[in-house]
Amino acid sequence: MLSIKTTDIEPTKLYGYLNHAVAPRPICFVSTINAQGQVNLSPYSFFNMVSTNPPVCVFSPSNTSNNEPKHALQNVQEVPECVINLVSYPMVQQMNVASAQFDKGVNEFVKAGFTELPSDMVKPPRVAEAPVQLECVVTQIIPLGNQPNSGNLVVAEIKVTHIQDNVLDAHGRMDQTKLDLVGRLGADWYCRTTPECLFKVRRPIKSIGIDDLPAFIRNSDVLSGNDLGMLANIEQLPSKEEVEAFASQASIAPLLQQNDTAIFQQAKQWLNESKVDEARLLLLSSGANL
């Protein structure tokens, strides 16, 4: 395993490792305005939501290699407001144009061909093409260093959220499959949240924990850590009566006549098909016969 002390490596090389490893990252396509009314539009992937009450996002414009502040940072220092526009796949190539280093005062909306949309509560305009637009007031700016490429944490409280109708479902809720968001990876790599790339993981209210699964299940050579996590995502194991009722089904009895490896492989297949309860009961039934 490669182990790196951050004090023993050039910052640019360390950036390469971390930029690949801490990924995918959401993209903050932030519009700002300076005291002269000049608009800036820049993407930042050092970005996330950190609170919902109050609703707060953070993003971090790094200093340039010459240790100069980015235009967006200068703008929020002058006018502490911004709009965080979320980036969908149809926007990504135009967004990439906006990431170029233009002279101060150049409007990236114009350069990248985006449409300015007036905001309700803040001065910077929104990106009309963005699926979600967050009008924010900047409450803090925290310098994280005073060297080239040092970050500057911008804390932005969301005041108005705008959501395009075409990413809502029939009940007015966000539909993750419709957003088609883009995430930043290392180097020139990005990723896209297409429906075929999405999967659900049910969050447990309570869980027995993997350590409370029977030892013959925990120590299986067939099941992976993900498999064990799914099996343990339950408040309590099925009762003896539930296991016996499952095992007595006509379709299950033949499965239990197989060897242990075949039974575990069947359970793994069911786990891959999200048939978690059936997989758990099959394994517990096989354990009762050991």
Cα–Cα dist 231/282, whole Å: 11
The SS3 of residue 274 is: coil
pLDDT for 34-79, tens place per residue?
999 999 999 999 999 999 999 999 999 999 989 999 999 999 999 9
Cα–Cα dist 86/26, whole Å: 8
Q: Token pair of 20, please? A: 């690949």
- Mean pLDDT of the chain, nearest integer: 96
Show the domains of the chain with their CATH numbers. 6-194 (2.30.110.10), 210-288 (no CATH)
Q: What share of the chain is helix, strand, coil (3-state, %, to 5)?
A: 35, 25, 40
pLDDT for 135-183, tens place per residue?
999 999 999 999 999 999 999 999 999 999 999 999 999 999 999 999 9
For residue 82, give Cα distances in angstroms to 30, 141, 144, 154, 192.
Answer: 7, 13, 20, 10, 25
Lowest mean pLDDT among 60-64, 229-233, 241-245, 286-290: 286-290
pTM of the model: 0.90
| DSSP E strand stretches across the chain | 25-26, 28-33, 39-44, 47-52, 55-59, 81-86, 116-117, 126-127, 132-143, 152-163, 182-184, 190-192
Angle at 104 between CA 98 and CA 106, to 5 degrees: 50
Handedness of CA 82, 87, 91, 95 (dihedral sign): positive
Cα–Cα dist 68/133, whole Å: 28
218-250 in b/e burial notation, b at 16+ Cβ within 10 A? eebeebeeebbbbbbbbeebbeeeebeebbeee
